[in-house]
Structure 1
Amino acid sequence: AEGFNKTQSEYKVVPVYKGSYTETLTAAIAAFRAKQAPHIVQVFEVGTANMMAAKGAVYPVFQLMADAKEPFDPKAFIGPVTGYYSTTDGKLLSMPFNSSTPVLYWNKELMSKAGLDPNKPPTTWPELGDMAKKAVAAGAKCGFTPQWQTWTMIENFGAWHNLPYATKANGFGGMDIELKFNDPARIKHVQTLAEWGKDKTFVYGGREGKSTALFNAGDCIFHIASSASAAAIEKALGKEKVGIGMMPYWPDVIAKPQNSIIGGATLWVLQGKPAAEYKGVAKFLTHLSSGPIQAKWHQETGYVPVSIAAAEITEKEGFYKTNPGRDVAVKELTLNPPTDNSRGLRIGNFVQIRDVVDEELESVWSGKKDAKAALDDAVKRGNELLKRFEAANK
């Protein structure tokens, strides 16, 4: 915003902090109802179906740019990102900004201490388990901890192994859907983690991004976390101690991984402002999505370069040569053409469904339930929330 404000004097963008992604979404809905909505709201990918259903509240980006006569080409963005936020006929509803995907981080120092090659990370889950056990035996406090477990261990696990999360192409084909993530592969995966939990091969570090503190403290050898955590992790441990690679897969489920799906957020424009102000909004979005701005954002954080130009600039500057592993996120997202199981997730009441999945996974980690009972219950409870969403948005 500061950069944009410095480039021109006609408009001034004022950013307002409203807390976490969930808090921001709640605040935006309340503000819209009170006719005090902001022009732009940053909504995480989990809120996409809710934003799409909020008819009359959203000013679709493709429409805004056309009305403001601002040059705009959705093909300038990378496919996995536009696919997630477009209508079925390819019209972009929100402006891609900070997109990420989960990657595997490892602590090279702990690898060496365990007698492992710090430059040879695990590629499969059985390998990760073996290496994590060795590290714990060699004195590490923790083998593996995941960040945002619903996103990494259930949602992305499905895309990576080409398994559905829900019917109708994970909700892209309509609202009347049912959850499908209580399949044998996910049950086995969650049960395996629970078994690993008995000897600290797996350690649960809390919801959302809380577990990163364990990795940053040097406790865990492996961490699956957002690519957007890269800069902070490298700062905490020292760049030379951190490895970044692709997520592992189960070879008995899939011969080779499919592709990962995005997290992070996009910028949604809300209705109800004067046309002259929307011209400023359009100009600001053009500024934010420009190659140089996106390249800088990608390099300084670890979010993926959402535009093709940003990726090209970063490559040309030799960034990946001096920052190995920082190109892994894009490689995962574009590993294979997406399938109905790996394009993304368009799920109503998704924030509440994630809370349910978190609760049920926690019941496995605490030993109250086995993986099958927990995932069956999560699907049952989640389907109730989906029915409510469908009824409210018919």
Structure 2
Amino acid sequence: MARATVAVVFGGRSSEHGVSCVTAGGVLGAIDRDRYDVVAIGITREGRWVPAPTDPADWAIIDGEMPEVRDAADTVLAPTRAGERAWSVLDGDGTVSPLAEIDVVFPVLHGPYGEDGTVQGALELVDVRYVGSGVLASAAGMDKQFMKTAFRAAGLPVTPDVTLLRGDRVADRIADVEALGLPVFVKPARAGSSMGISKVSDLATLEAAVADAAKHDPKVLIEQAVSGREIETAVLETVDGPRASVPGEIITGGGHDFYDFEAKYLDEGAVNLVSTADLPPELERRVRDTAIAAFRAVGAEGLARVDVFVTDAGDIVINEINTMPGFTPTSMYPRMWAAAGIEYPELVQTLIETALARPVGLR
């Protein structure tokens, strides 16, 4: 039997381009090359699809610098007809040559133009199987306003918020923000990796915080702050349905007021990532049940990480669902599964095999 060919697609047009490249390095290093043929496809910041190196070392953070997909003379061409498996390369002089017959795509794109259902939609159009959630779940998971709408409809607890759309004036919504109470968190509605997030404790700084968030997304969310422990749970789709890991915990220090981008990726030692949170058994069960309920509420597939706050009173409040979480070997998602006995290469193989077994089309 011929080996399946996996295409790892990464980079992209969002502000999380570098994070996506780092995640790709982790996945490329974990795929069993004796079991699968591997193709790497990078998407430049301008949106061009190019052949990329499959060596994980090319996608590592070096001296605090995030890796980047560089432009190239060749362009990757996806199939244009449903059922085709052949992908091609267009070189600089207009010659088209074969790239590979791809069986499944592993899209490790973060943020808009990748994690938000756009790439998933392109793959659906030509019946290409892929790892992770479909169009609707990816879009809902990316857009925090509609994510919360889905959770509220499912009876799940979320933080109160105010949404500002393009053209809305901060001054016109001050009363609504005041009703949330201070402090509040200001964040782009459709971004991740803590890009553009600010903690606001004085309304005098609100407009500047909104402007900073709007650099990443014209839709801005202003959320009531929740005092509590930051707990994360990994959800993995299996043949028996979604399964939740033992929850982990984020403990932020090192002068960081919250789990921001620098604390996540650049400031070593600023965060203590506890892959097994110390929770009473009943509370742990409720956190895991909440994670699976959130997964089902948006119709997620494959994998997701569900982040919640656990208050001193033992209440659970969902912060967000991430349908393509950070996936380096040291990221929380694989670390939580490692604590449950599923090591990183096995996790990657499970996701690939689940995607290969999934039917194309409506499901």
Query: With structure 1 as the length reference, what TM-score do the two structures score?
Result: 0.26
Q: Which has the higher strand share?
A: 2
Higher relative contact order (CA 8 A, sep 6+): 1
Q: Which has the higher helix share?
A: 1
Query: With structure 2 as the length reference, what TM-score do the two structures score?
Result: 0.28
